[in-house]
Structure 1
Amino acid sequence: MVKQAGLTLVELLIASTLGLILMVGVVQLFISSSDSFRMAEAIGRMQESGRLAQDILGRSIRNADYWGCLRSVEIDNILDPSGDGYDADYHDFEGVEALEFDIAGSAGSLVENSVIIKLKGVRSSGIRMSSTHQVSASSTQIKLESLPSGVLGKDGVVMLSDCQNAVVFQLTSVNDSSLTIGHNTGSVVDPGNMKRTGSSCPNGSNSANCFPDLYESGEIFLPFSDTYQLQEDASGRRSLHLIRGISGTTATPTNFELVSEVQDLQAQVGIGPEGDNVINSWLEVTSGNLSTINSSYVKAVRLSILVRSPEDRVSRQQQAVCFPAWTDCSNDANLWRPSSADDRHYYRVYNSTYSIRNRLLDTGT
């Protein structure tokens, strides 16, 4: 047998070349798989953000301007406008417009030129006043049939309605054992409830604590005054925020970050006469249209939400999208593009239309 003499230089070069080709193929396969995974993850998170923003805004818009069995113009508001921390945007519920729009300026953390949506109304709490306890205009205590834990708290704001009258007031006491809530005046809570000075009580009441009407029965509702707006943090990350003005447990506005990577929010509104389900025209929410929109009867809202992927360098080229949705994108120049030519985020536009169901089917009676 011939002894093994090793590899020749030619054989070594061929083996090295084949190994290198195989390694390049493996690396390319790894990079391609990694890019595909990053792209799928980025698109998935972007879709999640867009759908979540749609769900939150849509649900809130549909429920706006609900006041139980009454209308906002029939509601008395005894929150003290001279009290500490009183803000009419969040604490005024007497004959207010339940749906308002604004355009963000350049001040603070707001995303300039994005739409701000302000909503008011009430939600049912499932809590009813005790039928054996009459609430007179001079009473400061209300007896309840039940008091679920965590729904109401001292400093919270509620509305009592018996379908003939309704009053919004701040809770100064909540007693779980006696099933009672109080609405005293003075500096117990902020901004507090009005105290009569002369004839300044709503409905001409002469009660010292300004509770305007007699209630033999009624239901406790939870008023809300919610503001949705886009904010940008110090790192440039934009998010959809909710400023919750009041709840059943507090009268202090609280800022919540809801959905990250929401880059812009634009809107159109459907306007029509009160008393039917007809929309006569659509107006885009712009600075020039704000006065007309906020003084009109808005029945529907069309939203266009621009969302981007959390990660950069996932797109091979700068993205161009049709935003807002009602833009004529047949001309390429009208497409929206990020300000940086080196931006490689993915962008997607989410469009939806929501009716304000408490207005669209309103009979006007």
Structure 2
Amino acid sequence: MHKREAGLSLVELMISITLGIVLMTGVVQIFLSSKSVFSSQQGLSRIQETGRLGIEFLGRDIRMAAYYGCYRPNPSMPGGELQNGAMVISGLHGNFAEGLRGYDSATSVPGGAAALGGSITPLTKGTANVVVVRSVKIAGLPVSKSNDSNGVYAYTPSPADKNKCVEGMCKDTAVIVSDCFKARVYRIAVDPSVTGNEVYFRHNEGWGGGVIATENFINGEIAAINTTAYFLAKGVSGQPSLWQKTNTEAPVELLEGVEQMRITYATSENENYRLASLLSATDWSKVNSVRIELVVRSADNNLVDSPQPYTLGGVTVTPAPESGVADKYLRQVFTSTIGIRSRATNIQ
């Protein structure tokens, strides 16, 4: 007697395979959908973080533009204007009386794009404005006694560092000495000389002391002046990035993904926000607020299904394909209006 054979028929096998394929298709679709949502959320999180930090970096320095300690320029008072403020050390590190200056592009910066860094490739497509901010460090050193004709004396709690600098002030550093009523900018001529708790910052410019009130600083403070430039250029990875250059130091890449930067300015005489090219040379000392618009994009070009329009400067922009590849970057525009503190109640 033969045993009865058991198993699946061909029809049953085909049905099982079909059901398996349907189930696997569903699982794969769920996985791909979850991955897409995760990538979009991650891309959006990075964009928001980049935009927030970009506004914070720019806002922090712009608020402090034209900050000279307790001194505020008063052109109507004899000797009250900033003395020697037009001094230039090199490149953008100069014209300290301006406090803030904008440029529509890297090519319009004095000295051209090379002034921002010889090995840097500034962005030229779209809107890539440049802003240069000049102000003193928040902390300076108190003047210890009346200055002489060659330099200024100040109290220092610490000796010179290994670079022969005292509180960031070294040979060839631009500094400002002020007593709240007047101020003068000069360049330190030699390494600061420290004796005990007193440091001597020499200038060799033939002013100081005596009976000339505008050249005598019995008290007050002395502090270094920083020149900080913000601009857009290609980053190390090839992505557009926000860069920062301080004084004559090498530029530093701050944030990857900042694709466009539009900066407009309002003055005490004109409340309309205008691009840098629409301001005259005399307007920059009157700028009291700045509006920043940053366009930040994702690192990956596959986060949206079609080109994503955005609005910059009141104009709607639809990204065009690059090298035949459709633009599917995720983007967000960040806007902030920043007041310049030192000019909020300035005497005019």
TM-score, reference length from structure 2: 0.78
Q: Could you tell me how far 1:354 is from its partner in structure 2?
A: 1.2
Do the aligned partners of 1:323 and 1:335 also contact (CA within 8 Å) in 2?
A: yes
In the alignment, which of 212, 225, 249 is matched to residue 253 of structure 1? 249
User: Aligned residue for 2:147?
Assistant: 135
Residues 173, 182 of structure 1: 8 Å contact kept:
no
Partners of 1:263 and 1:293 in 2: how far apart? 31
The match for 1:240 among 227, 239, 242 is: 242
Q: 3-state SS of the aligned residue for 1:42? A: helix
- Pairing partner for 2:274 from 260, 269, 284: 284
Letter matched to residue 39 of structure 1: S
Q: Are 1:152 and 2:202 counterparts? A: no
Q: 2:77 corresponds to which residue?
A: none
- Decide which of 140, 162, 167 is 2:179's aligned counterpart: 162
Are the aligned partners of 2:235 and 2:256 in contact in 1 as well (CA < 8 Å)? no
When residues 349 and 225 of structure 1 are mapped into structure 2, their CA distance, relative to the original with a 3 A threshold, is same
Shift of 1:20: 1.3
Identify the residue that residue 335 of structure 1 maps to in structure 2.
317
Deviations 1:163-206 (A, max 9, x none): 2443334443356772333334xxxxxxxx4x45xxxx458x89
Change (3 A) 1:71 1:362: closer
TM-fit CA distance, 1:87: 1.7
Structure 1 pair 50/363, CA: closer, same or farther in 2 (3 Å)? same
Distance in 1 between residues matched to 2:265 and 2:146, nearest whole Å: 44
Taking a change above 3 Å as real, the CA distance of residues 309 and 110 of structure 1, as seen in their structure-2 partners, is same
Deviations 1:37-69 (A, max 9, x none): 111111100111111111111122221112122
- Contact 1:127–1:147 (8 Å) recurs in 2: no
Secondary structure, counterpart of 1:70 in structure 2: coil
Percent identical across equivalent pairs? 27
Distance verdict in 2 for CA 1:146–1:137, change over 3 Å: same
Q: Does the 8 Å contact 1:136/1:213 carry over to 2?
A: no
Query: d(CA) in 2 for partners of 1:129 and 1:105?
Result: 39
Give, as a single letter, the amino acid of the residue that structure 2 aligns with 1:129.
V
Are 2:300 and 1:308 aligned? Answer: no
The equivalent residue for 2:116 is: none
**Residue of structure 2 equivalent to 1:330:** none
1:74 maps to what in 2?
81
Report the equivalent of 1:264.
Answer: 260
Residue 320 (structure 1) aligned with residue 316 (structure 2): no
Give the Cα separation in 1 of the matches to 2:282 and 2:306: 39
Structure 2 distance, partners of 1:158, 1:286, is 27
Distance 1:2 1:142, change over 3 A: farther
Shift of 1:4: 5.0
* Aligned position for 1:348: 332
Taking the aligned partners of 1:213 and 1:353, their CA distance within structure 2 comes to 38
Mean Cα displacement is larger for which, 168-177 or 153-162? 168-177
Q: Pairwise mapping of residues 209-248 of structure 1 onto structure 2 (< 5 A)? A: 213-233=215-235, 236-245=238-247
Q: Residue 20 of structure 2 aligns to a residue in which SS?
A: helix
Are the aligned partners of 1:313 and 1:345 in contact in 2 as well (CA < 8 Å)? yes
Per the TM alignment, residue 161 of structure 1 is displaced from its structure 2 partner at its CA by: 1.9
Shift of 1:7: 1.5
The equivalent position to 1:122 in structure 2, one of 124, 136, 142, is: 136
Structure 1 CA distance for aligned equivalents of residues 85 and 63 of structure 2? 27
Q: Gaps (5+ residues) in structure 2? A: 74-79, 114-120
Q: 1: CA distance between counterparts of 2:91 and 2:11?
A: 88
Secondary structure of the structure 1 residue equivalent to 2:338:
strand
Inter-CA distance 123–265: structure 2 relative to 1 (3 Å threshold): same
CA distance in 2, matches of 1:80, 1:266: 29
In the TM superposition, residue 126 of structure 1 has moved relative to its aligned partner by 5.0
In 1, Cα distance between equivalents of 2:33 and 2:21: 18
Shift of residue 281, structure 1, vs aligned partner: 3.2
Specify which structure has the higher proportion of strand: 2
Q: Is the 8 A contact 1:124 1:220 kept in 2?
A: no
Question: Is 1:87 matched up with 2:90?
Answer: yes
- Structure 1, unmatched stretches of 5+, are 185-192, 207-211, 246-251, 274-279, 328-333
1:146 aligns to what SS in structure 2?
A: coil
Match of 2:11 in 1: 10
Displacement of 1:28 after TM fit?
1.1
Q: In 1, are the aligned partners of 2:72 and 2:342 still within 8 Å (CA)? A: no
Shift of 1:363: 4.1
* Aligned-residue CA RMSD (Å): 3.2
